[in-house]
Structure 1
Amino acid sequence: MELIVYGIKSCDTIKKTLTWLEKKKIPYVFHDYKKEGITETKLKNWTKQIGWEPLVNKKGTTWKNLPEATQKKVTNEKAAIAVMKDATSMIRRPVIEADGKVLTLGFDETVYKDLFDK
């Protein structure tokens, strides 16, 4: 099982996640949205699994800096995917998946222990 952590290297939550995984000696591959982007296909896959609402980080500065008209358009999966594809920083981080399946979203040590401490 190959673990893929999606996020942005400079994000504090990502730093915390990667440090936790490294401390536990859990191998992973890191996918940086800023450098590598994210495909519409990947975003559709995630929204099918966990919905589009949890993926949109409305608390972050990227969301807050979007024009109000753009924010108001994000009312469904198609609109959310279009905005997330262009403004990858507004995707909640990290998204952790294995074999194409989303295991968890965000950093929660309790969830991580349940998933990875075996």
Structure 2
Amino acid sequence: MTNIYGIKNCDTMKKAMAWLTQNDIEFNFHDYRKDGLEKAFISQWVAEFGWEKILNKRGTTWRALDEETKSNMNDALAIEQALAQPAIIKRPLLIHDNKAALGFKAAEYQAIFN
């Protein structure tokens, strides 16, 4: 089964879910805001990808952080921020057959499902 994680009203999420639907791929959607976020889950992905890829540094949530928090960011602080403000997590996180993709690129999704 394919799982996709993110926030429902995100444009990138909408593109990713539309791609999955157009390609007849069944998926479960987990909304961080509605369904919550567990520390073990975000810790696993920070360990795999690194906090620099997990946190969306181009988004408004990152820009709203104070400079001290940004300059002192590390794995533990990133996990804390993600739990407190799930919108800071880059979206979507797709998991399929033990492969994970962060963000949405049609070519990357095509490679995962072929």
TM range (shorter): over 0.9
Q: Structure 2, unaligned stretches of length 5 or more?
A: none
Q: Structure 1, unaligned stretches of length 5 or more?
A: none
Contact 2:5 2:94 in 1 (8 A): yes
- Under a length normalisation based on structure 1, what TM-score does the superposition of the two structures give? 0.89
Change over 3 Å in CA distance of 1:33–1:102 after alignment to 2: farther
How far the C-alpha of 1:102 sits from its partner, in A, is: 4.9
Matched, 1:84 2:82: yes
Q: Classify the secondary structure of the residue corresponding to 1:107.
A: coil
How far the C-alpha of 1:21 sits from its partner, in A, is: 0.1
Figure out how many residues of one structure are paired with residues of the other and give that number. Answer: 114
How far the C-alpha of 1:67 sits from its partner, in A, is: 2.6
CA RMSD of aligned residues (A): 1.3
Matches within 5 A, 1:41-60: 41-60=40-59
Percent of aligned pairs with the same amino acid? 38
- Under a length normalisation based on structure 2, what TM-score does the superposition of the two structures give? 0.92
Q: Which amino acid aligns with 1:111?
A: E
Task: Measure the CA separation in 2 of the matches of 1:3 and 1:16.
Answer: 16
Matches within 5 A, 1:1-118: 2-74=1-73, 76-98=74-96, 101-116=98-113, 118=114
